[in-house]
Amino acid sequence: MQTIEELLREKKIKVTPQRMAVYAVLQRTKDHPNVEMIYRELKPNYPAISLATVYKTVDILKKVGLIQELSFGEGGLRYDSVTLPHAHIFCRNCGKVVDIESISPERLRELLLMESVAEETGFHISSMQLYFYGLCLYCNNKQSES
């Protein structure tokens, strides 16, 4: 298996400490951060890093397949270093994003009717995403108290 450095070099992308740091943030968190969250986490240790650098880096990491981009509509774009197909749930109140690990990639394919969609449309499907929306336990309890 290739390291991130080898993969980036193979794609003729310069390996920089900032790029490695952005990827490290995404690998160690399950919070599915957006660019601004990544930037705030890195800024204390990388004072010269810019928001533009983080935007460019997540775009590069997405294009080479090291991360996936999640879109929850008004919640903006979030990022995940787990690139295998899996479902997510999004809290419409606080923006929390959680992986749903109990749905296997095989079951996910069934739920999304991938083969049927491919047959119907003639598309070769390269990726898929399944999102659930609702209120997390904390927000639901807060709303019940009101």
pLDDT tens digits along 54-77: 999 999 999 999 999 999 876 689
Of residues 49, 77, 80, 86, the one with CA closest to residue 66: 80
Residue whose C-alpha is closest to residue 38's, from 19, 64, 13, 60: 19
What does the alpha-carbon distance between residue 61 and residue 4 come to, in Å, rounded to a whole number? 9
CATH 3.30.1490.190 residue spans of the chain: 84-146
User: What's the fold here for domain 84-146?
Assistant: Dna Ligase; domain 1 (3.30.1490)
| Residue 32 and residue 80 in contact, taking contact as beta carbons nearer than 8 Å | yes
pLDDT of residue 1: 66
- For the 1-82 domain, the top CATH level (class) is mainly alpha
The band of 107, judged by pLDDT with boundaries at 50, 70 and 90, is confident
Q: Can you give the pLDDT at residue 100?
A: 93
For residues 72-89, average pLDDT: 88
Q: Backbone dihedral region of 95: left (phi > 0), alpha (psi from -120 to 50 degrees) or beta?
A: left
